[in-house]
Amino acid sequence: MCIIPRYVAINDGARMSSETIMIHAGLAERPRRSRWPARLDLLQSISGLLLVLFMFGHMFFVSSILFGETAMWTITKLFEGYFFFGKSYPWLVSCIVGAVALLFVMHAMLAMRKFPINFRQWRTIRAHAKVMRHEDSTLWVWQAYTGFLLFFLASAHLYQMFFWPHEIGPYASADRVWSDGLWPFYIAALLAVELHGGIGLYRLAIKWGWPNAPRAALRKVKWALTGFFLVLGLLSLGAYMKIGHAHRDHVGERYTPAWAAEQDAQREGRQ
């Protein structure tokens, strides 16, 4: 975007207003370029970055199951306010899910501006990526595919977490993953979100020039991050499936560490 100064010195020191120059150059009628596309791009980048940072945290919390049922129970209870209020309030998790869902919807709406809107555009982009064999174009095509998938997969997951926050826990999550048969859904969501987020982070670095590193180095970091979170996600899913399989005859039973069960019993006894 070029900024025209209010006054421009012309030959022999005289000054002329930019408006006069625009008129003489026949540019006065031309509509000024709106700043909205740039502003919306910035909003899309910010919402995308926040969602990627959320997913980093989310995967670490979900993978706490790798340290055992009590570790995942503790993380779940932390978000339910158990250690602050002495009691669980699952609706606190719904508040977080609501905020993430708003951010997700905003990001998806902004991203739809860049989506190819008809078959001809899709064909052109795919042909371009094929002919050019340009890795960044191919990455963009994959980001569009995975973004499209996340419209459905992430929405379904957010809906479930928003309305059934009390159904999160070592046994409850494992029962959902195994006995409710959600593990194929989670594999698809994991692949989509990690590919989409990784490509998104790489494109943000290229677009905004931070960190200022060669593309090849940024790509290496991108694939390392994607690889790390895919492995972490698959290991966690494997753990939920293993627990869910072992727990298949007791679906609905909740996991509570012995000390917490005792505490809860005492509290109920006092009431």
Which residues of this chain interact with ligand HEM, rule CB under 6 A? Answer: 58, 62, 93, 96-97, 100, 104, 150, 153-154, 157-158, 161, 168, 173, 176-177, 186, 189-190, 193, 233, 236-237, 240
Tell which residue, 262, 165, 149, 132, has the closest CA to residue 197: 149
Query: Would you mind telling me the total number of residues written for the chain in this entry?
Result: 271
Q: Decide whether 100 or 201 has the Cβ nearer to ligand HEM.
A: 100
Beta carbon nearer to ligand HEM, 9 or 156: 156
Q: State in angstroms the smallest separation of the CB of 54 from ligand HEM.
A: 7
**Would you say 129 or 189 has its CB closer to ligand HEM?**
189
Q: How far is the CB of 130 from ligand HEM (least distance, A)?
A: 28
Task: Name the minimum Å distance from CB 240 to ligand HEM.
Answer: 6
Nearer Cβ to ligand HEM (129/146)? 146
149 to each of 108, 189, 195, 196, how far by Cα in Å?
Answer: 11, 8, 11, 10
Q: Concatenated DSSP letters for 143-168?
A: HHHHHHHHHHHHHHHHHHHHH-GGG-
Angstrom CA distances, 181 to 33, 166, 230, stand at 52, 19, 20
Distance CA 242, CA 236 (A): 10
Q: What is 222-250 written as a DSSP string?
A: HHHHHHHHHHHHHHHHHHHHHHHHHTGGG
Q: Where are the alpha helices (DSSP H) in 63-118?
A: 69-79, 82-85, 91-111
Least separation in angstroms between CB 93 and ligand HEM: 5
CB 257 to ligand HEM: min, Å: 18
- Give the position of tokens 């987020």: 197
The nearest distance, CB 52 to ligand HEM, in angstroms, is 10
The residue among 128 and 166 lying less far from ligand HEM, judged by its C-beta, is: 166
Q: Tokens for 9, please give them.
A: 């010195």
Q: Which residue is nearest to ligand HEM (CB)?
A: 173
Comparison of 7 and 151: residue with beta carbon closer to ligand HEM: 151
